[in-house]
């Protein structure tokens, strides 16, 4: 929530300051793999623009990771700024920037009967709630390209494709059952944690695909 408030304040400041300096200020609604959000664009010179925005989305899913079925809550949150260079007489642009990254995943084991944790079987009633939380780097570099289509100086349609490097995940796992503090279980849980963390490394490079609709102010 603090990031969302900061993002809104940054966009408001961006708009209030730069609208005076240049008439080419655009505000866009954006949807994509980073979630839903708003973006402001200012073009100080014909073939270069600066963009700042934020996106957020939370959703629930089910996943099987490291042999265990999980109910997963995935939270996407990005506050970003990019510099974008356009090819003259073309809608194509190239982008580079930084993302304040709040992406994370929370996992709750939903196996019944028994869990296979770290190669060992444990009774689910003794394990209790099996939880995991994965986080990534706070700052992620971004590179990509896009297409900008503008109808006069009024409205625009934009497409983005790129990737941000959010680093390898940091995963914490816990259980709250009667064997949670048992040394044998703790060793098995650490083995499971390391295996699950390795599987989640596929998300280190996060694809960014987005479409946005903008208006000029």
DSSP string, 98-141: EEEE--EEEEEE---SEEEETTEEEEHHHH--EEEEEE--SEEE
Section 126-131 average pLDDT: 92
Determine contact, residues 26/156, Cβ cutoff 8 Å: yes
Higher pLDDT, residue 132 or 10: 132
- pLDDT at 87 exceeding the cut of 60: yes
Q: How far is CA 65 from the centre of its chain?
A: 20
Q: Binning pLDDT at 50, 70 and 90, where does residue 68 land?
A: confident
Mean pLDDT of the chain: 88
* The pLDDT value given to residue 23: 53
- pLDDT at 60 exceeding the cut of 50: yes
**Which tokens in the block code for residue 151?**
């109808």
Radius of gyration for the chain, computed over Cα atoms and rounded to the nearest angstrom: 22
* The pLDDT value given to residue 153: 81
Q: Binning pLDDT at 50, 70 and 90, where does residue 17 land?
A: very low
List Cβ neighbours of 136 (8 Å cut-off, separation of 6 or more): 101, 103, 104, 166, 167, 168, 169, 170, 203, 204
CATH fold of 2-216: Porin (2.40.160)
- pLDDT at 200 exceeding the cut of 60: yes
Q: Binning pLDDT at 50, 70 and 90, where does residue 21 land?
A: very low
- pLDDT at 15 exceeding the cut of 50: no
Alpha-carbon distance of 37 to 30, in angstroms, equals 5
Section 49-59 average pLDDT: 96
Instruction: Name the DSSP letter for residue 217.
Output: -
**Which tokens in the block code for residue 120?**
């060992």
- Domain map of the chain by residue range? 2-216
């Amino acid at each position: 929530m603090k990031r969302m408030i900061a993002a809104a304040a940054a966009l408001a400041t961006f708009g209030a300051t730069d609208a005076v300096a240049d008439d080419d200020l655009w505000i866009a609604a954006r949807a994509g793999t980073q979630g839903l959000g708003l973006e402001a664009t200012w073009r100080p010179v014909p073939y270069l623009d600066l963009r700042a925005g934020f996106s957020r989305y939370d959703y629930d899913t089910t996943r099987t990771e490291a042999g265990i079925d999980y109910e997963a809550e995935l939270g996407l949150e990005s506050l970003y700024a990019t510099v974008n260079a356009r090819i003259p007489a073309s809608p194509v642009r190239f982008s580079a920037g930084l993302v304040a990254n709040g992406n994370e995943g929370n996992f709750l084991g939903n196996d019944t009967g028994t869990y296979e944790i770290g190669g060992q079987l444990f009774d689910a009633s003794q394990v209790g709630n099996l939880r995991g939380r994965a986080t990534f780097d706070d700052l992620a570099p971004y590179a990509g390209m896009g297409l900008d289509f503008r109808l006069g100086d009024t409205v625009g349609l934009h497409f983005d494709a790129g990737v941000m490097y959010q680093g390898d995940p940091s995963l914490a796992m816990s259980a709250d059952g009667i064997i949670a503090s048992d040394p044998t279980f703790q060793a098995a849980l650490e083995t499971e944690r390391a295996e699950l963390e390795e599987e989640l490394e596929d998300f280190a490079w996060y694809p960014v695909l987005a479409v946005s609709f903008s208006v000029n102010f």
